[in-house]
Amino acid sequence: MGFVHSPLRALLLLATLSGFFFVPVFAQDAQTDEDGDPKAEEVAEEEEEAKKEELPLEELQVLAEVFGKIKSGYVDEVTDVKLLRNAIKGMLTGLDPHSTFLEPEAFKEVRISTEGKFGGLGIEVTTEGGRIRIVAPIDGSPAADADLRSGDIVTRIDGKLVGDDLRGAVDSMRGEPGTRIVLTILREGESKPLEVPLVRAVIKVASVRGELLEPGYGYARITSFQSSTASNLRGQIEKLVRENETELKGLVLDLRNNPGGVLNGAVEVSDLFLEDGVIVSTRGRGNKEVSSESARPGDVLKNSPLVVLVNGGSASASEIVAGALQDHKRAIIMGTRTFGKGSVQTVIPMNNGGALKLTTSRYYTPNERSIQALGIDPDIVINQTEVSQGGGRKSVREVDLAGHLPNGNGEEENPSASDVEEINIDGGEERPSSMQLSSGEGLQTVDFQIREALNLLKGMSLVKSNLVTK
């Protein structure tokens, strides 16, 4: 027998030994009752558990065989480490779009990014159909300034083709501030690819900002959820109250194109507006509840009307807030259906300095609705611009991603084909540009959805004052 590479030998050995270690032997050890009959049910349960633990010998042998064929027959020489790393990645990407293996450097970057400061373009991306698709740019980032949009497909980075390697694409887009990069993108409605030059910058995610839309009516935007988001939002609302010189009559909370972030940030933001009750719960394998978070007394708005703006770029933590406020009837949700990412990823450090980012549970709203692959439907559907007769581009949501996690409640997943149109083919945007959002003219003058939210707030405030008067 010829020489066999050590990793291949290890795989073969594992495949062989698995057949010895996991063969059930319960029949010979089974206890008997007073009549001498085996305790059949107990034995059956033990055998069933053993089958779950038993490694599939045939599949391990296939893995070892494929490994050997690649080593001996692939057109270019490939290292054992690369093959094994690809096998690990394949195990995870085959589960869902959000489970992945983080190499030590990538894990380090993840820890840095959760602190709200990193070097890059300020863009949230995901994989869909073997391509890298933009979920949302971060306000004030190079990506937002370059008018990159939700739904754009990144095909090349600095001229190099991009496949479905999400980690590799993110690594390529991040880098030293001041360095240049060119993204080639495909955009619905454009006849040919667009080349977008950008300059990397230090991305400081200012997660909350706000302003008075009119006397008595405030506006607060959350761009991502960090550990300090709730305290920053409280401070922003208190600042608006001081500027208004009295309590606010209503607030527009803008969660559009907010890709999510820290779970605790979403819980604490929801808690700012709720007096009691469940905010969110999570369930893991077997639909067993893993955790439940509840509100504490105290409403920062003192029960003044609240309108929450969402769209197809509102994901994860944004959907937790929208779902909690909607189920408790504390706010009117306005806009278009959210992204539908209702799964929890746990980052598990590994011995090599890397980490396993693994989907471990699903989010559920207070009314036990699963967000996963469904999203949050607004109470009032308002598109950013009028939709022309021909229709426009639909935004990409979790349900559109290949291999997405099922809903968990057994509900039928609504494909985007049933979604309302979000972008006018004549050029209307799903989100205002950064220049528009920072305009001193008043956001309601340049943003249709904010204007409609303000009008709704005025009506709600009038109804509330009439009820108080009566």
Q: Report, as residue numbers or ranges, the catalytic residues.
A: 316, 327, 341
Q: Where do the H-state alpha helices sit in 229-388?
A: 229-244, 263-271, 317-327
The values of phi and psi at residue 33, to 5°, are: -90, -170
Sign of CA dihedral 196, 199, 204, 206: negative
Extended strands (E) in 179-331: 180-186, 194-199, 201-204, 208-214, 217-222, 250-254, 278-283, 289-294, 306-310
Query: Sign of the C-alpha dihedral, residues 312, 314, 320, 323?
Result: negative
CA distance 156 to 172: 10
Contact 361, 282 (CB under 8 A): yes
CA angle 211, 217, 220 (to 5 degrees): 40
Q: What is the 3-state secondary structure (H, E, C) of the chain?
A: CCCCCHHHHHHHHHHHHHHHHCCCCHHHHCCECCCCCECHHHHHHHHHHHHHHCCCHHHHHHHHHHHHHHHHHCCCCCCHHHHHHHHHHHHHHCCCCCCEEECHHHHHHHHHHHCCEEEECCEEEEEECCEEEEEEECCCCHHHHCCCCCCCEEEEECCEECCCCHHHHHHHHCCCCCCEEEEEEECCCCCCCEEEEEECEEEECCCEEEEEEECCEEEEEECCECCCHHHHHHHHHHHHHHHHCCCCCEEEEECCCCCCECHHHHHHHHHCCCCCCEEEEEECHHHCEEEEEECCCCCCCCCCCEEEEECCCCCCHHHHHHHHHHHCCCCEEEECCCCCCCEEEEEEECCCCCEEEEEEEEEECCCCCECCCCCCCCCEECCCCCCCCCCCECCCCHHHCCCCCCCCCCCCCCCHHHCCCCECCCCCCCCCCHHHHCCCCCHHHHCHHHHHHHHHHHHHHHHHHHHHHC
Contact 352, 104 (CB under 8 A): yes
